[in-house]
Chains A and B, each alone.
Chain A
Amino acid sequence: MDDNKLMNDVLGGGLRALTKLADSPLVERFGLHDRTRKLVYEGARRAAGAAQRFAPKSAGTSSEHSPKFDLSLSEEQQLMRDTLRRFADDVMQPAARQSDDSGAPPEGFLDTFAELGAIAMAVPEPLGGEAERASAVSQMLVAEDLARGDMGLAFAALSSLSFVNAVVHAGNEEQKALLLPPLVEGDGASAAVALVEPHPFFDPHSLRTVAKRKGGELVIVGEKSMVAVADQARRFLVAVDVPKVGPRFVVVERGADGLGVSRETAMGLGSAGLGRLSFNKVRVSEDAVLGGSAALEAQGRAKYDDAVNRGRVAWGAMALGTSQAMLDYVIPYCNERIAFGEPISHRQAVAFMIANIAIELESMRMLVYRAAARLDAGLPCEREAYLARTLCADKAMEIGTNGVQLLGGAGFIKDHPVETWYRQLRSIGVMDGNLLV
């Protein structure tokens, strides 16, 4: 017996009648108010008692084991977090400015990152990694912490990791065996995900890059943009629309006939080594579809949708990291900057902007974390990921523009990193894919 339902029946059925009764002039005129009240009390007491008795005896213990609202991190996540934060502070932040200018991560950056073992930590043990299990929350935390160092470099570092995450979640056994080991072992191999297309109203569910089926092969025509480490990646995971089937990912090897890779510069994220991919009748086997040719059946769609949600969580996490960097930067700046004889942070006009940065950042964080936690709990997540993306697109840019504003003229000058973050945070509303947790 569902105690919850019993209680609701008792409450729901009776409440409306009691509300009417309470309002009846008769109740008051005949001095029935107190008696009616007693009646209600007794009814409720019995209903609650009955609900308790009907509840299975194990109810107490089972609720101990059912998940509780909990924001704490696992030991593994905390350990990874401490490591990555140091890496962000010591390696990424100092390198950010120059790699943004040069349009590529510094020499050896990806190797140093690979040595941290983040990829192994993303892959479950049975697949050759070191993770207890694949976790979207863990991957999201990685993205957040790296983006606190620098969003562009984080994009570069997370590129292979995203490829790995996609294969872990949607690859078939052969693909896992073939594609994961070189990346887990970190032999310099890198990979990238290519989903975003360079046109307005881009929607991962209506792609213009098309892969037509032809005699057991797919023939790909189209264009992908803002692909990280495009000039180094050995493999690309490309989102394509297969006519009459729908959107799917396919693995395309670098050097495939008809694949063009060109450098792309953008408002920000330059340090990721951005590139544009063009597909001029690139032929791949149907086995190259992520999940194998079986994924061309209807069930392949769910895996694709799942990947889109994972992409939204990843970019949400990027927004969190860079917004946090902004908050951490403007606080000491506004405390030290003197105008009119006192720190500008003593003015509400300034202090309230900072409070609002913190409030909206925490708002974004809660939505992104929740979407990630739902992925790990196996709960539907389309709505949550979409809402997280929507909030982050608005608020991250607000934080970006207000961060520059708080520094005034200094914010506009490249001596301070806030203008870089301003340019990077515009990407949150634009990027939808190319990374995933």
Chain B
Amino acid sequence: MYLELPKHLRALKSQAHQIAKNVFRPISQKYDQAEHEYPKELDMLAALMDGLSAGGDKSGAGIAELKQEVVTAGVRNGSNMAACVGLTELCWGDVGLALTIPRQGLGNAAITAVANAEQKERFEGVWAAMAITEPGAGSDSANIRTTARIDGDEWVLNGEKIYVTAGSRADVVVVWATLDRNLGRAAIKSFLVPHGTPGMEVVRLDHKLGIRASDTASITLTDCRIPKGNLLGTEEIDTKKGFGGVMQTFDNTRPIVAGMAVGVARAALEHTRELLGASGVKVRYHGSLHHKSAVEAELIRMEADWEAGRLLMYKAAWMADNGIPNSVEASMSKAKAARVANAITLRCVELCGGQGYSQNELLEKWARDSKILDIFEGTQQIQLLIVARRLLGKRSAELR
């Protein structure tokens, strides 16, 4: 048993940290204020990341690398752990900017998880967003109304999608739609819809509490026609299998969101310790917790919770890397890391008083950014449902 970051991922971690520190932090406030303005600095970053991989750095921290590994001999610390480590560092810099790095969209994770070889080739190097939520269906994604019907060699999509992260900036949107609303989850499939396809339109960009550097789009699909080959996975409806492929994406992306939470929470904790340190607050890992100042004890408690989120994330990623099914652990890691990150970033603002609340510091921004992490990729409550259903052996019809 060994629960430290392996040596071969340390290079990746410090590279991501350099990007976070030297690219993200200097422009963090700028794009928080200039919402909807495209951060052109990120084109450089995308070029840099492509250059790194062309140059032979195989550490592969990208979201597009995520996959459940088949079991191999020996222990692996592979693409899932690498992605967690990378995103943690990037989000230490800025969550919103990390979400708008070209070609690192959640749709890319879906392509990696479900696409066939032909699709992978055709969509290589694209930036793919993911469109699931609708005005009438959020967490209950089985209830989506966007439809897909076959017409000759084409799928015809109709519906409305909201809260699409990178929905206007991405090249392609992975749209969830149902083949038959009467057949429930099993009939829900995902489709690759390139921007520019007639019938798909970005109708609105949301103004948000946080992650304002990242665009969040509303998209309408009106008789939007795409080639038959743009369906991800199989068109077969297997009612015994439920969601199948599309949901599997979440087992891989939830630990990543946990990592994002771990990153932003660490930023807040570190900076708060710096600011409070200037006022003479020390953190010592000895002596009775109850004999410490209230603020020192609180910093330690927050750090313990933060460590828990971090290690649960590593555990879930380690399981994916080693071919161990990890749905429950992925949900646990996201539930813990995200709620802890939200609590920590908010508390850090409070502990630093006016300095924390002021936009002279980034603390208040982190407290706004962190909230989304407990919402997207499954809210806190959805994670608890997933964990509880598994522990209690309940179907979703029983434990609703």
Contact = CB atoms under 8 A, between A and B. Distances in A.
Interface of A: 3-4, 7-8, 11-12, 15-16, 18-19, 21-23, 28, 33, 36-38, 40-49, 51-52, 63, 66-73, 137, 200-203, 205-206, 327, 331, 334-335, 345-346, 348, 351-352, 354-356, 358-360, 362-364, 366-367, 369-370, 372-374, 376-377, 379, 382-384, 386-388, 390-391, 393-394
A308 B49 CA distance: 46
Interface in B54-102: 54-57, 75-77, 81
Contact of B384 (A42, A355, A382): A355
A358 B332 contact: yes
Given A47-B55, A201-B290, A373 B77 contact: no
A72 B75 contact: yes
11 contacts: A12-B21, A15-B19, A19-B41, A46-B55, A69-B81, A206-B287, A334-B392, A346-B399, A366-B3, A370-B3, A394-B301
A66 B19 CA distance: 26
Contacts of A51: 11, 55, 57
Given A44-B47, A387-B303, A73 B1 contact: yes
Contacts of A387: 285, 300, 303-304, 307
A38 B47 contact: yes
A37 B381 CA distance: 43
Nearest to B311: A366
B92 to A, nearest CB: 15
A379 B288 contact: no
Contacts of B11: 3-4, 7, 51
B235 interface: no
A23 B27 CA distance: 10
B51 A137 contact: no
B379 to A, nearest CB: 12
B191 interface: no
Interface string B195-231: 0000000000000000000000000000000000000
B8 interface: yes
Nearest to A200: B290
A355 B315 contact: no
A292 B18 CA distance: 50
Contacts, number: 257
Nearest to B46: A37
B26 interface: yes
Contacts of B294: none
B8 A363 contact: no
Given A45-B52, A351-B389, 4 more contacts: A23-B41, A37-B43, A345-B399, A354-B392
Given A40-B48, A203-B288, A391-B308, A22 B1 contact: no
Interface in B25-46: 26-27, 40-41, 43-44
B22 A137 contact: no
Contacts of A23: 27, 40-41
Given A19-B22, A66-B7, A373-B1, A40 B51 contact: yes
Contacts of B43: 22, 33, 37
A334 B315 CA distance: 28
Given A41-B50, A46-B55, A348-B385, A201 B288 contact: yes
Contacts of A363: 305, 308-309, 311-312, 336
Contacts of B3: 69-71, 366, 369-370, 373-374
Contact of B286 (A69, A370, A382): A382
B51 A44 contact: yes
Contacts of B7: 63, 66-67
B394 interface: yes
Given A47-B55, A351-B384, A391-B304, A67 B4 contact: yes
A336 to B, nearest CB: 11
Nearest to B51: A44
A388 B52 CA distance: 38
Interface residues of B, number: 76
B10 A4 contact: yes
B-side interface mostly: helix
B6 A68 contact: yes
B335 interface: yes
A49 B52 CA distance: 8
Interface of B: 1-8, 10-11, 14-15, 18-19, 21-23, 26-27, 40-41, 43-44, 47-57, 75-77, 81, 285-291, 300-301, 303-305, 307-309, 311-312, 314-315, 318, 329, 332, 335-336, 381, 383-385, 387-389, 391-394, 398-400
Contacts of B398: 346
Contacts of A21: 44
B305 A391 contact: yes
Contact of B392 (A12, A351, A366, A386): A351
B56 A49 contact: yes
B8 A358 contact: no
Give the 10 A-B residue pairs with the shortest CB-CB distance, closest first.
A48-B55, A44-B51, A363-B308, A366-B311, A15-B22, A351-B388, A386-B285, A45-B51, A45-B55, A391-B304
Contact of B312 (A11, A40, A331, A366): A366
Given A201-B291, A358-B387, A71 B55 contact: no
B392 A48 contact: no
A69 B307 contact: no
A71 B44 contact: no
A356 B391 CA distance: 11
A69 B5 contact: yes
Q: Which of B1, B49, B301 has the most CB of A within 10 A?
A: B1
Most A Cβ at <10 Å: residue of B50, B57, B77:
B57
B47 A37 contact: yes
Nearest to A353: B388
B4 A69 contact: yes
Contacts of B383: 355
Contact of A67 (B6, B314, B318): B6
A71 B57 contact: no
Contacts of B55: 44-49, 51-52
B59 to A, nearest CB: 10
Contacts of B309: 363
A70 B324 CA distance: 13
B312 A41 contact: no
Contact of B18 (A11, A37, A72, A376): A11
A11 B15 contact: yes
A48 B318 contact: no
B30 to A, nearest CB: 8
A63 B77 CA distance: 11
Contacts of A67: 2, 4, 6-7
A22 B44 contact: yes
Given A70-B75, A346-B398, A12 B27 contact: no
Contacts of B301: 390-391, 394
